[in-house]
Amino acid sequence: MSAPRRLLLVNGPNLNLLGTREPQIYGSQTLEDVEALVVATAKSRGFEVRAVQSNHEGVLIDAIHEARSDCAGIVINPGGLTHTSVVLRDALSGVALPIAEVHISNVMAREPFRQHSYVADVALVHVVGEGVAGYATAVERLIDVIAGQADG
């Protein structure tokens, strides 16, 4: 049986407000723009995408668990859960899939509490501060890892 050719795209709390929430930090592109970019980038490499966004941690964890059966990797912007959720980190670790962590803003140059990521140690790919375009970078790098063309 061949490996699945699908990625799970996970966007955490408040990312549904992209385009209107603090555009000076997050830009004017919407979540729909993000999803379209990820789908197009993945499609160019022969992958499908299943996307989920939720403001509820349990919904995200359930989607991550479900990815074990039909996804080759996960691209995730955990939003504020990046800095608070051991449970989300454990879900990502538990599914044993390659993970790409992406953040629109440069969280390392922001408030001190944003500079710690519970996801960082389980992610193989990290893309920070590239705006929405960083999602495409994350997809490309993650697919390279999945294809054995990069270590992360």
Binding residues: 77, 83, 90, 104-105, 114
What residue numbers does the annotated binding site for substrate cover?
Answer: 77, 83, 90, 104-105, 114
Whether residue 51 contacts residue 38, with contact meaning beta carbons closer than 8 Å, is answered with yes
Active-site residue 135, yes or no? no
Q: Which of 103, 118, 126, 135 is catalytic?
A: 103
Residue type, 38: V
Residues designated catalytic: 26, 103
